Amino acid sequence: MRVVKKPEERKAEMVAAASRLFAQQGFVRTSVAEIVTAVDVAKGLFYYYFTTKDDMVKAVVEGYCSYLESCANEIAEGEGTAREKLSRLMNLDAWQQCFTAPLVADLCLPQHAALYTDMCDRLIAHIGPALEKMAAQALCENGKDESVAPQLVGVGVYGVLMMARTGKMSMPWAKDMICRLTGLDSIDA
């Protein structure tokens, strides 16, 4: 016998189940049937909340981005130099937890370019303000014009994300790029 739950609770359960499955096997290899089975609901309920599986992918990514936003805001508002803050942000385990290899590998496939772009837009919308604050602090600490922080963050984040899509980006390379953009000699020092 199925348990009756509030719609927002049931939807959140489906997103959580999809998130786990996408982390394990990617979304290409995850079927809608697997998602609804994991939550023990009828397949029709999936389509009540999500028009397509792509909508579920967006909901999962939105959840990850919201989580990273709260982490980034906490770091940006906290104590420390820009170098220390950027180091904490770049070394968060959340990057690995949120953007696991199978999910990102599927997003990087050419046929999913629109979903990858959507992820990039969501990520910059969520963590952009905190990054701008940290970048402005880094520029100020290095005697540079902090008013360019929004442009640096926009170019830097989108650049890093697009390079990652082509497989030409690693976390050490991303850290180096952030250092160059903000005038820091290193993040982990």
Q: Tell me: the pLDDT tens digits for 4-43?
A: 788 899 999 999 999 999 999 999 999 999 999 999 999 9
Helix axes 32-39, 7-25, angle to 10 degrees: 120
Residue 188 belongs to some domain of the structure: no
Residue 47 belongs to some domain of the structure: yes
Least confident of 63-72, 127-136, 143-152, 170-179: 170-179
Per-residue pLDDT band at 113 (split at 50, 70, 90)? very high
For residue 10, how many other CB atoms are within 10 A of its CB? 17
Residue 13 belongs to some domain of the structure: yes
Per-residue pLDDT band at 47 (split at 50, 70, 90)? very high
Residue 1 belongs to some domain of the structure: no
For residue 111, how many other CB atoms are within 10 A of its CB? 8
Residue 28 belongs to some domain of the structure: yes
Sign of the CA dihedral running 76, 159, 113, 125: positive
Looking at the structure of the chain, the number of domains it has is 1
pLDDT for residue 90: 84
Rounded-to-integer distance, Cα 142 and Cα 38, Å: 51
Per-residue pLDDT band at 189 (split at 50, 70, 90)? low
3 state DSSP class of 78: coil
Residue 187 belongs to some domain of the structure: no
Tell which residue, 30, 35, 42, has the closest CA to residue 12: 35
Residue 122 belongs to some domain of the structure: yes
Domain span including residue 173:
7-182
Alpha-carbon Rg for the chain, nearest whole angstrom, is 19
Residue 124 clears pLDDT 60, i.e. is over it: yes
Digit-coded pLDDT (tens) for 52-107: 999 999 999 999 999 999 999 999 999 999 989 988 888 888 887 777 778 888 99
Rounded-to-integer distance, Cα 130 and Cα 69, Å: 8
Residue type, 153: V
pLDDT for residue 2: 63
pLDDT for residue 171: 72
pLDDT for residue 185: 74
Residue 123 belongs to some domain of the structure: yes
Least confident of 22-36, 114-128, 138-152, 169-183: 169-183
pTM given for the model:
0.87
Q: What is the CATH number of the domain that holds 23?
A: 1.10.357.10
